[in-house]
Copies of this chain bind each other. A is one copy, B any other.
Amino acid sequence: MMLMSDQPVPVRPGRKRSEESRLAILTAAFELAAELGYAGLTIEGIATRSGAGKQTIYRWWPSKADVLLDALATKADLYVPVPDKETYAADLREFLIASFALGRKQPVVDVLRALMAQTQIDAEFGERFRVVFLQRRRNALSIILNRAHARGELPPDASPETIADIVFGTIWYRLLATDRPLDEQLANELVTVVARPRPKPDSSSHGNLT
């Protein structure tokens, strides 16, 4: 949220921004995107559905993609906690499972795909999308990776940056380019490939010297 509305000093004369309209616009945009698809989404449609005027939308958001980005942030269920378990592998697996749960909500996925698409077409929006969404998810993973590094659990195969690219890349690729789901198997495989837990419970177990 607050893409534009960084009211540095809310001591301004005049009518206040209508929170009611704002919410009505965001939910209307999200609903319409789910119903009609991003291609069928239109500013005028959002205005009609929300009962707001077109100008009210243009006043606060530079594009329909920004409305959707804002609507996404308003969806509180996007929150993914950063787990803190015993091992790097367990943390990563938990993170993936929680993320995949979001990735199964079809409207959310549809919006995400649309925003990623718009990112390719509109560079300025893309910058906002990266900062507001992608970077946040990446930071969450970074916490896990840093903790693993501090514990000496991080395999030296790849830099943390690349690890993040691999993890998010795989997720996004499934969403954008395939019909395969984000399921538990993928989580397990990713953990195995990237975190490489000592999967043999028989041999050298808990000694965390790699």
Contact = CB atoms under 8 A, between A and B. Distances in A.
How many residues of A sit at the interface, in one of the four size bands? 35 or more
Interface in A93-134: 113-114, 116-122, 130, 134
Contacts of A122: 39
A172 interface: yes
Interface in A161-198: 161-162, 165-166, 168-174, 176-178, 180, 185-186, 189-190, 192-194, 196
B192 A165 contact: no
Contact of A193 (B121, B161, B194): B194
B121 A158 contact: no
A38 interface: yes
A115 to B, nearest CB: 9
Given A171-B169, A174-B169, A177-B116, A37 B193 contact: no
B177 A39 contact: no
A6 interface: no
A57 B157 CA distance: 49
A159 interface: yes
B174 A173 contact: no
Contacts of A116: 117, 120, 176-177
A38 B120 CA distance: 9
A190 B190 CA distance: 13
Nearest to A189: B158
A182 to B, nearest CB: 11
B193 A157 contact: yes
Given A158-B192, A166-B166, A121 B117 contact: yes
Contacts of A121: 37-39, 114, 117
B193 A158 contact: yes
A155 to B, nearest CB: 8
A202 to B, nearest CB: 12
Contact of A168 (B38, B168, B173, B194): B173
